[in-house]
Chain A
Amino acid sequence: MSAQAINAEYVTEKLQARFGDQLSNLDSPYGLLSMNVPRESVIGIIKWLKEDPELQFMFLTDLCGVHFPEQKGQELGVVYHLHSLVHNFRLRIRTFFPETDPQVDTATTLFEAANWMERETFDFFGIRFKGHPDLRRILNMDDMTYHPLLKQYPLEDATRTDKEDKYFGR
């Protein structure tokens, strides 16, 4: 099959033939094929996509966390962006899990690039990546006591002293 023939329909078809019951929310918002998968199988699916001799999704563009507190039981998620360089085709995989159990398998077994991305996701969302070789904070201070991008924490810094109401006549 030539490079031009790889498109969203074809990749969807191939994925459904292999992992049919595990894919949900299949959609192409803004032309980017996206799907949700259960966290138990996410690494298996990415591994298959990477190693499939035809699709060759061999580049992990990005890996990041998301937090939707109103999605009860599915509050936290990890989003993987894959790129098949051979076909110049991109794909987005999401997996959600409860914030009481923020764990997912590491992708460092497949992509070395996932190392720092997972550290960043851990730093900001507190998501534990099982099997990660060195899961510690990467951007914030080591002595930080919380994960700042979780929505329950305020953006503002608690040590700010010049924004008190009295200075603004409030």
Chain B
Amino acid sequence: MALNLVEAPEGHSGQGFFATSFDQAVGLARANSIWPLPFATSCCGIEFMATMGAHYDLARFGSERLSFSPRQADLLMVMGTIAKKMGPVVKQVYLQMAEPRWVIAVGACASSGGIFDTYSVLQGIDKVVPVDVYVPGCPPTPEAIIDGVMKIQELIKNESLRRRNSEEYTELLAGYGIE
């Protein structure tokens, strides 16, 4: 039985061999083995728990293993309201992650502050760390969170291996005060 786990990238195949670019092969491997770090502070975190559960099962996308240490994580998932006092903590966690790293802001609060337009709440985590994908919703459904992770997978699959060494990327990080 041919079990088609993931689509093969573009390439040349013949009898007993398959050739593709290094970028594509690495992207394929990375995209299907993301270790997410859940940074859950409120109701979006509850939706994430449903997403990891048997019914929605993010494990189907290769994210079986949550990493509770930022040092081994590939994807920082920020889910919930981030108070200004917690902003430096989010940044610290991001700094502890090894490259390549991706960030997804789940829900209205992580994306923009949500309903909490007030002096104590960070108005979106993109004020302290660069964000790759924003998931709208208050809270988003597990389907929406999975859609966000799939968008991350697309980004990973199509990312050039040189991107993290590019000037643009260094500039982006410098914009957040990250060396």
Q: A101 interface residue, CB < 8 Å from B?
A: no
Given the interface pairs A156-B118, A157-B121, A160-B123, the reply to whether A140 lies near B85 with Cβ below 8 Å is yes
Q: Which of B120, B123, B124, B127 contacts A140 (CB 8 A)?
A: B120
Shortest distance in angstroms between B160's beta carbon and chain A's nearest beta carbon?
30
**Nearest CB of chain A from residue B20's CB, rounded to whole Å:** 41
Q: Is the CB of A157 within 8 A of B85?
A: no
Whether the pair B85, A159 counts as a contact (CB closer than 8 A) is: no
| Separation of A140 and B87 alpha carbons in the complex (Å) | 12
- In the complex, chain B residues whose CB is within 8 Å of the CB of A141: 84-85
- Bound together, the chains give a CA A80 to CA B120 distance in angstroms of 25
What residues of chain B lie closer than 8 Å to A163, measured between beta carbons? 117
User: In terms of DSSP, what is the predominant structure of the interface of chain A?
Assistant: loop
Return the CB mask of B78-90 against A: 1 if under 8 Å, else 0: 0000001100000
Question: Complex Cα distance A53/B113, Å?
Answer: 52
A155 near B123 (CB under 8 angstroms)? no
- Interface contacts (Cβ under 8 Å), in number, total 36
**Bound Cα distance from A148 to B112, whole angstroms:** 21
Q: Tell me, yes or no, whether A21 is within 8 Å of chain B by CB.
A: no
Contacts of A159 in B (CB 8 A): 123, 127
Interface status of A168 (Cβ within 8 A of chain B): no
A162 to B113, CA, bound (A): 9
Chain A interface size band reads: 10 to 19
* A135 CA / B7 CA spacing, docked (Å): 62
Chain B CB within 8 A of A161 CB: yes
Max chain A Cβ within 10 angstroms of own Cβ: one of B113, B119, B121: B119
A153 near B: Cβ within 8 Å?
A: yes
A156-B120 CB under 8 A given contacts A140-B85, A141-B84, A141-B85: no
Interface positions of A from 121 to 170, Cβ below 8 Å from B = 139-141, 144, 148, 153, 155-157, 159-163
Q: What residues of chain A lie closer than 8 Å to B123, measured between beta carbons?
A: 157, 159-161
User: Using a CB–CB distance below 8 Å, which chain B residues touch chain A?
Assistant: 84-85, 112-113, 117-121, 123-124, 127
What are 8 contact pairs spanning A and B, CB under 8 A?
A140-B85, A140-B119, A156-B118, A156-B119, A157-B117, A157-B119, A161-B112, A161-B123
Instruction: Please give the residue numbers on chain A whose beta carbons come within 8 Å of chain B beta carbons, in ascending order.
Output: 139-141, 144, 148, 153, 155-157, 159-163
Can you name 17 extra interface pairs (CB under 8 A) apart from A157-B121, A160-B123? Answer: A139-B85, A140-B84, A140-B120, A141-B84, A141-B85, A148-B119, A156-B118, A156-B119, A157-B118, A157-B123, A159-B123, A160-B117, A161-B112, A161-B123, A161-B124, A162-B112, A163-B117
